[in-house]
Amino acid sequence: MGILKDKKVFVTGGSRGLGRALCEVFAREGADVAFNYNSNDEGAQETIKAIEAHGRKGLSFKISVTDKEGIDGMVKEVMKSFGQIDILVNNAAINKANSFVTTTEKAWREIVETNVNGLYYVTKPFFRHMVKQRFGNILNISSIGAIRALPTSVHYATAKSACIGFTKCLAREAGQFGVTVNAIAAGILNTDLGHSLPDRFQEMYKTWTIKGRLGAPEELAEFAAFLASDKNTFMTGEIVTIDGGCVV
């Protein structure tokens, strides 16, 4: 059994891309994994199969991270099934390729509602359980778009910057309860979210990185498993960059 033996994990946005990779790697390392998704029923079933292929329990919930009441009910179901929650991975996010001058209020609100408010809606109820347990590990997925002047959308960079502030401040509060909080600033990955960026930007990114390519979601998931494990005993409130060595 791996470094997450018998851990109970929840991953947001687990039906595809990085979310599915996180679920599969965490299950391979010995965890039972629950996840939510917005609309991709077929993808959710594939993720469940990937979890169960490693002999672990998988749970899926078709609930948007923006549905606060639905999330609250979902957390109750997760706790009823798992009994506790050891690890929360806030992965769900959306992006839209907009310049700031053409960004509509609707687009701005949609990005903020999913990428910032969704972070709050999901973390708050799980964090309460972790406080009662006096243990837990929260891992947030941010972006290098939040820390570098890349030509990404302003609303997305703003939301992912909020994720960094959320991580650092929550880590200070959570530490007194035995809860660890870290984040990964991810580069562009070979996922649907990554491919939502203009082709020109994706090609430019390859020239900006030492690795010379987009990242595979599994590569980030492997490191995430370590960050969320009991082997990571002295890191909290940190933002770890995984971007293939972007030099811009």
Residue-wise pLDDT tens digits, 92-146: 999 888 889 999 999 999 999 999 999 999 999 999 999 999 999 999 999 999 9
Task: State the pLDDT at residue 201.
Answer: 80
Percent of the chain with pLDDT over 90: 87
Q: Exposure string (b/e) for 211-241, b if CB count within 10 Å is 16 or more?
A: eeebbebebbbbebbebbbeebeeebbebbb
pLDDT band at 223 (very low <50, low <70, confident <90, very high): very high
Question: Cα separation of 125 and 202, whole Å?
Answer: 37
Task: State the pLDDT at residue 104.
Answer: 94
Alpha carbon separation from 243 to 4, 42, 86, 147, 193 (Å, rounded):
24, 29, 27, 12, 15
Both tokens assigned to 113: 């509602």
Q: Quick one: three-class SS letters along the chain?
A: CCCCCCCEEEECCCCCHHHHHHHHHHHHCCCEEEEEECCCHHHHHHHHHHHHCCCCCEEEEECCCCCHHHHHHHHHHHHHHHCCCCEEEECCCCCCCCCHHHCCHHHHHHHHHHHHHHHHHHHHHHHHHHHHHCCEEEEEEEEHHHCCCCCCCHHHHHHHHHHHHHHHHHHHHHHCCCEEEEEEEECCECCHHHHCCCHHHHHHHHHHECCCCCECHHHHHHHHHHHCCCCCCCCCCCEEEECCCECC
Q: What is the mean pLDDT of residues 16-42?
A: 97
Mean pLDDT score of the chain, rounded to an integer?
Answer: 95
156 assigned to active site: yes
Question: Cα separation of 126 and 99, whole Å?
Answer: 35
Of the residues 37, 121, 156, 205, only one is catalytic, namely 156
Residue-wise pLDDT tens digits, 44-70: 999 999 999 999 999 999 999 999 999
Query: What is the pTM (predicted TM-score) of this model?
Result: 0.95
Question: Cα separation of 108 and 154, whole Å?
Answer: 9
Task: State the pLDDT at residue 192.
Answer: 81
Residue with tokens 């811009």: 248
The domain locations on the chain are 8-242
In CATH terms, the fold of domain 8-242 is Rossmann fold (3.40.50)
pLDDT at 149 over 90: no
Q: What is the mean pLDDT of residues 143-159?
A: 90
Helix axis angle, 68-82 to 118-133, nearest 10°? 30
Question: Cα separation of 123 and 126, whole Å?
Answer: 5
pLDDT at 1 over 80: no
Q: What is the mean pLDDT of residues 23-37?
A: 98
The residues, any chain, with a CB within 8 Å of residue 189's CB and separated by 6 or more, are 17, 18, 214, 215, 216, 217, 220
Task: State the pLDDT at residue 143.
Answer: 95
Residue-wise pLDDT tens digits, 160-199: 999 999 999 999 999 999 999 999 999 989 888 777 777 8
